[in-house]
Amino acid sequence: MITILVVLVLIILALLGAPLFSIIAAGALYGFYIADIDLMVIGIELYRIAETPLLMALPLFTFSGYLLSESNTSQRMLNLIQSMVGWMPGGLVIFAFIFSAIFTAFTGASGVTIVALGALFYPAFIKAGYTEKFSLGMVTSSGSLGLLLAPSLPLILYGIIAQQMELDVHFSINDLFIAGIMPAAIMIIALSSYAIVKNRQFKIKTVDFEKEIFLKALWAMRWELPMPILLIIGIYSGYFAISEAAALVAVYILVIETLIYKEVSFKKLLEVIRESMAMVGSILLILAVSLALTNVFIDAEVPGQIFSLIQENIDSKISFLIILNIFLLFIGAILDIFSALVIIVPLILPVAISFGIHPVHLGIIFLANMQIGYLTPPVGINLFISSYRFKKPIADVYKASLPFMLVLLIVLLLITYIPALSLYFI
């Protein structure tokens, strides 16, 4: 009875806006208390995180993403896209999806992509001839792309959490990076194909390619363009460890944005450092207390009980994956991705492995669901960010985003039931 009361109190506090880490920590502390386990275990979990070599990549990539969002990189990239593919039917939309995916991969947060790039893409789409509804849907849906691409923070965080669980199936962060390429590419291709079909319906006019304008836009991007190329080659070739790549990217972006372009002043740089490290600190704190809470679940044999319940009601891998997708879409709509990772992954990963699902494949399924969860009515976070950013009624955002969400759901089914799309190259 007391336990139920405690759980209800924690749920009420969470609904009232109490910090997530405090709710999770309180649950962990209570669980250890009733199990008569030394509360020092939370300190041990903090130490375990500190010992993880990959952890260094989190603050470095977060800092890089925040720094990029404060510069004029997005405007330069838009100019390059328009000058390069304005002659191609649907060219602006295709490259907008690609650039949004890359931007989200570096920032690790889809809301940042909508805020940073929306002001550029939304009026550009309308000016090109697309309707306001279609433009709104494109910008909102493009914000969730990129979570499956290196160096996405959620992708790294999933790997850290899974490796902390000491599973029988071993994999590396690079395996996750490689596994995410094809599913992410299929999502971009599917959305682009849908946009091209609409492009024909709207009869969007193309513009002639002008070499001088293209070369000018290309020259303006001369410092940023080598960065993703070097990063991809370095990581996928194995030449860079993920932490080394993160350090290289952070230093490179710092130099070009503060010393070469001079778009980020010293005062602004201090703000970027403070904001990005506050984000990192919140992630680490939530991760630590969540790992401690995971120990409570393990001691209480919660994974075993979930597995037994599933075995009694679900007798096939296909049925499990259907229920898993429905559950994760719901979770993606109500929780931010970092909270979902640290709370849900430790619970579902052992059960998924018992059904023969590879941890890397599960990671791709999980993050693909989170991407779509951002667009899932009525509470998908990107819907509200887009509504606020473009000053549109939330109902209009729902209608505009629904076709793109349906396209992504079809791709999700392919990713879920064709493991080779994720596992072929690892």
Mean local confidence (pLDDT), 49-71: 71
Q: What is the pLDDT of residue 205?
A: 66
Output the pLDDT for position 22.
Answer: 75
Confidence of residue 111 (pLDDT cuts 50, 70, 90): low
Q: What is the mean pLDDT of the chain?
A: 79
User: Range with the lowest mean pLDDT among 49-58, 257-266, 312-321, 389-398?
Assistant: 49-58
Helix or strand run (H / E) with residue 280: helix 266-299
Q: What is the DSSP letter of 206?
A: P
CB atoms within 10 A of CB 229: 9
- Confidence (pLDDT) at 283: 64
Number of other residues whose CB lies within 10 A of the CB of residue 62:
24
pLDDT reading at 421 higher than 80: yes
Q: For residues 46 and 73, which has the higher predicted lDDT (pLDDT)?
A: 73
Q: Is residue 109 predicted with pLDDT exceeding 70?
A: no
> In the structure, what pLDDT confidence band is assigned to residue 360 with cuts at 50, 70 and 90?
very high
Q: Estimate the crossing angle of helix 110-128 against helix 132-142, to 10 degrees.
A: 150
Every domain of the chain and the residues it spans: 1-39, 40-423
DSSP assignments along 113-160, one per residue: HHHHHHHHHHHHHHHHT--HHHHHHHHHHHTTTTTTSTT-HHHHHHHH
Task: Determine contact, residues 214/84, Cβ cutoff 8 Å.
Answer: yes
**Residue 268 confidence class, pLDDT cut points 50, 70, 90:** confident
pLDDT exceeds 70 at position 302: no
Give the single-character DSSP code of 222.
Answer: T
- How many CA atoms within 13 Å lie on the side-chain side of 384? 10
Residue 307 has pLDDT above 90, yes or no: no
Angle at 208 between CA 206 and CA 214, to 5 degrees: 115
Residue 54 has pLDDT above 60, yes or no: no
- φ and ψ at residue 241, rounded to 5 degrees: -75, 160
Q: Residue 394 pLDDT more than 90?
A: no
Per-residue pLDDT band for 236 (boundaries 50, 70, 90) equals low
Token pair belonging to 293: 């809470």
Looking at the predicted structure, is the pLDDT value of residue 376 above 70? yes
> SS3 sequence, 37-81?
CCCCHHHHHHHHHHCCHHHHHHHHHHHHHHHHHHCCHHHHHHHHH
Give the N- to C-terminal CA distance of the chain in Å, as an integer: 49
Please check whether residue 8 is in contact with residue 273, taking contact to mean a CB–CB distance below 8 angstroms. no
**For residue 286, which amino acid is it?**
I
